[in-house]
Amino acid sequence: MTSHPRLSSPSPLVSSRTAIALTAALGLCAGAAHADATLDRIKQRGKVAIGVVVGGGPFGSIDPATQQLVGWNPDLARDLAKQLGAEVELVQVQPSNRVQFLQSGKVDLLIASMEYNADRGEILGHAPTPFYRVGGTAAVQKTSGIAKWEDLRGKVVCASQGSSYVKPLQEQYGAQVRGFKSSAESLLALRGGNCVAAVHDATLIQPLLRNNAEWAAYGAPIRDEILPAPSVVWARKGEADTIAAVDKVVQQWHRSGWLIATEKRNGIEPPQPLLPELQARFKAP
């Protein structure tokens, strides 16, 4: 019964503590004014929050035994944090909300299967060296008779909300796109017969079709990928120091062959030709 007044009474103490903390924080900021706010905060807290997409498959999934995030995106995020000298805080994001997570400061960086395009480049900052290249491919029923992108004209196509393939599918190929919350719902909708194709990153569809008996009736017959684009690490706009620090790490990843090894370790097939290309470029002085 008496705990209530006791809990609320020492407010002068709390506020004086806050004041001390604030002064300390201000002092630190003034002392370390050479880096941008995010890099400062990462160094100060010893922690970096990185948003990752875990859509299942080798690029990011949850290990059912340990509940840990595993796969390509989490691996990259962990190593990036290590190279930045900070502890990693992995935050799961969706393609539909990842930009808001970054802009609102819930995460400092995004390694979220998010490819570069000019619109995104306008509003966000990114490390210019790509760590991968991803294009879209279509999963269709093997009996559907679809063999090229043009065959999708006028047909209903499932995708995820926020996918960059929506625009070319609608404008270039005249498909009717239905966007679902995530790729999981979109793929379920494909199997429910609500669309003739589900278009997602080839890096998601290829392993899914290859490794699943449930998907035996489906294939990815369209050979050329739609909108192949470089995957980059995203940061908030104008944070030049953070971006420079991240880019240095990405270049080092290429130089040391760590990305190629990580790709192999996660069982990603077929291997991305961009990786050896960039390794050669960064190795040459």
Partner 1 sequence: MSETLLGQAVAALRTVGLNYAFVLDAGDRSAFLRGLGVTLQLCLLTIPASLAAGVLIAAALTSGRAWLVQPARAFVELTRNTPTLVQLYCAFLVLNMLITQHVKLPGGNPLTPFVWVVIVVSLHKGVFHAEALRAGIEAVPRVTLEAARSLGFSQRQLLSRVELPLALRFALPSLVNNLVDLVKMTAVASAIAVGDVTYESIMIWTQRDNVLELLLLILVFFGLLTWLVSLAGRWLEERWRMPGYGQ
Contacting residues toward partner 1, per CB under 8 A: 95-96, 99-100, 119-120, 123, 158, 161-163, 166-167, 170-171, 178-181, 185, 188-189, 191-194
What is the rounded CA–CA span in Å between residue 117 and residue 96? 16
- Cα separations (Å) of 17 from 7, 9, 25? 16, 14, 12
Smallest separation (angstroms) from partner 1 to the CB of 163: 8
Question: Is 43 or 191 the residue whose CB approaches partner 1 more closely?
Answer: 191
Question: Is 128 or 162 the residue whose CB approaches partner 1 more closely?
Answer: 162
Smallest separation (angstroms) from partner 1 to the CB of 17: 36
What is the rounded CA–CA span in Å between residue 279 and residue 275? 6
Question: Is 35 or 156 the residue whose CB approaches partner 1 more closely?
Answer: 156
Smallest separation (angstroms) from partner 1 to the CB of 283: 37
Is residue 87 within 8 A of residue 93, CB to CB? The reply is no
Question: Is 114 or 274 the residue whose CB approaches partner 1 more closely?
Answer: 114
Three state DSSP letters for 133-178 = EEEEEEEEEHHHCCCCHHHHCCCEEEEECCCCCHHHHHHCCCCEEE
Between helix 258-265 and helix 240-256 the angle, nearest 10°, is 70
What is the rounded CA–CA span in Å between residue 17 and residue 26? 14
What is the rounded CA–CA span in Å between residue 217 and residue 159? 19
Question: Is 43 or 120 the residue whose CB approaches partner 1 more closely?
Answer: 120
Question: Is 105 or 192 the residue whose CB approaches partner 1 more closely?
Answer: 192
Smallest separation (angstroms) from partner 1 to the CB of 195: 9
Question: Is 46 or 192 the residue whose CB approaches partner 1 more closely?
Answer: 192
Smallest separation (angstroms) from partner 1 to the CB of 169: 12
| Residue type at position 209 | L
Is residue 180 within 8 A of residue 159, CB to CB? The reply is yes
What is the rounded CA–CA span in Å between residue 184 and residue 56? 9
Smallest separation (angstroms) from partner 1 to the CB of 6: 39
What is the rounded CA–CA span in Å between residue 202 and residue 269? 10
Smallest separation (angstroms) from partner 1 to the CB of 187: 10
